[in-house]
Amino acid sequence: MKYNRQLLELMCGIFGCIADDAAAMVLEGLRKLEYRGYDSAGLAAIFSPGDSSPIETEKTTGYVSELVSKVNGRFDGAKISIGHTRWATHGGVTDQNAHPHSSNDGNITIVHNGIIENSAELSNRLNNLGYSLSSETDTEVIVHLLDHEIKTQPDGLLILDAFCTVISKLRGSWALAAIVSGHEGILVSRSGAPLVIGRGEAGISVSSDVLPFYGACSEVAYMNDGDNFLLTTNGIVAQDDVEKPTFEALEGVYDEEDPGIFPHMMLKEIHDQPTSLSNVLSGRISADGVNAELSGFDLSPAEIRKLERINLVACGTAYYASEIISSYIRKFTCIRSEAFIASEFPAKSVCSQNTLTIGVSQSGETKDTLDALFEAKKYGSNVSSLCNVIGSTMSRMTGNGAYLHAGPEFAVASTKVFSNMVAAGLLFALTISDIPNLEKKKLVQDLRKLPNIISSQLIDADEAIEQAANLILENGPPIFIGRGGLSSYIAKEGALKMMEISYIPCISLPGGELKHGPIALITQGSPVVALVPSDSKLNLMETSIRECKSRGAKIILITDSEGPISELADILIQTTQTHPDLSPFTHIIPIQLLAYQVGVEKGVNVDRPRNLAKSVTVV
């Protein structure tokens, strides 16, 4: 599989198909891709492939459900259709900027993910040719270039040849799907953004992700960077001497987005964690319960132990999970390890043939993380991944690593995948560890108990979460504090969750840093969320809490301790005591529930918060 560093970008969701009721399949496909962006949505359709009439299109700001209402059955019976759900990068969230984009005569329509870096240059060229652009997007230049190419090339030129000529003029990243009136098929191109072809009894499809293929396709073919094809009812058409991708069986099972008894998917996924943790641990602990055995890596545990360092690269929630994983590696091995924000990864300084760089991602499509892995390979590092999505770009790029087995996560804010990242990372650290067997056995045994502990903790969740949410809503942005590495990393994740789900700006920091500036933010009634597991830092956290209380702060105390520190709490959220190294698992649950409760009380769509997408894959 070929990769170019400058081309590892994408956003939004594309779905297209050739079938007896193509538009209906596209709308269903877009619904399953909405996690990739939900600023706007649109589709285009051809009803009779031989008809040269303008292509029918519809688009709207908002969710796919709003597009379905706007379409109102008008596209029933379409034979060829393409659609798009957008996360805005170029131009505001307007109907005009929504995809698809069409030529002036309506005979060519295109949808695009990614960024065309030379769009300004191409726009000037089109203006000189007499074309006028009606949107603020970088996508519109492509459709007018294709229009010009088709109209100025000699008769008999194949539509795919014209398409390839246009593609050769682009710089940047893209996944493209285009349809042309009077021509059967869908033109597709990939350069840096995932695009997958699906085939089944219903017809042939193209998508940004395999998710929409479940139930419609039995086989998939992954396009490579630089691929340009025409999809027809007969299969894939390529230019002469161009290799076509091979179809393989579609693996996995699709779980429908269904909150069941819960009001939101986010709450359901928080409650999924006992099951998801059982899945990530299953088969990865030795039969005698002594050792962790996380397989799937190209390097053996013995080879990994000889490495100079292990880098972890990730973004957002995955980065905070990586900080915890890196802490485990440092504690249980003699290997130097560090977690990096992927977009800031100093590959040249920390990568060599004697290093391993692990990408950590839910989707496996995160642009910054893919870029960091590419840079790591460039400087000689071994690369691997911890990823939740089978067949993702990251898993195929690295070719080794471990899947998280958390199951589909539909809510944009990650919950159960975070816990599974930490669990998989702990298994990795224990697999390569050189700690005494007795110590390892105790930790592994307690790790096996985690699903039951989390289950009991969720059942026993009390009104303290609601009280804490009301305190935050009434008294302003909270400060999250922890101490001793693990708790301070959970505090970071807590602040991120609160910002994502409630839109409340908040900060997190190690408790010892409060007195070095941030304590100036505390006024009478300021909420402070303190994470205090029963570990060696408990007494130090007590000092930090007293510093806050003496300045009028209200303490939301999350702890497994039943000792005197609980008396400092204005609101006490009790967690279950477990091995100190497993406190991230028990303490993240109330953090997630608190963010959820605050978001719900504020009336936020907690499953689809504004401006966010599940797979952030643009610069």
Q: Which residues are catalytic?
A: 12, 614
Amino acid in the structure at residue 322:
S
CA distance 56 to 81: 9
DSSP 551: T
Angle between helices 140-152 and 119-128 (to 10 degrees): 40
Can you tell me whether residue 19 is helix, strand or coil?
strand
H-only helix segments in 399-537: 416-431, 437-459, 464-475, 486-502
The three-class DSSP label of residue 199 is: strand
Burial 31-66 (b: 16+ CB within 10 A, else e): bbbbbbbbbbbbbbbbbebeeeeebbbbbbbbbbee
Distances (CA, A) of 140 to 14, 36, 443: 16, 21, 57
CB 408 within 8 A of CB 254: yes
**Whether 197 contacts 245, CB under 8 Å:** yes
Q: Are 361 and 319 in contact, with CB atoms under 8 Å apart?
A: no
How do beta strands 248-249 and 219-222 pair?
antiparallel
CB 548 within 8 A of CB 519: yes
| DSSP 8-class letter at 306 | T
Nearest-angstrom CA–CA distance, 476 and 427: 39
Instruction: Output the six-digit token pair for 535.
Output: 């570990």
DSSP 59-103: EEES-HHHHHHHHTTTTTT-SEEEEEEE--SSS-SSTTTSSPEE-
Q: Report the relative pairing of strands 228-232 and 80-86 from DSSP bridges.
A: unpaired
Spell 207-216 as b/e; 16+ CB within 10 A means b: bbbbbbbbeb
Instruction: State which H helix or E strand residue 57 sits in.
Output: strand 56-61
Task: Determine the length of the chain.
Answer: 619
Residues with Cβ < 8 Å from 319, sequence gap 6 or more? Answer: 339, 340, 341, 342, 360
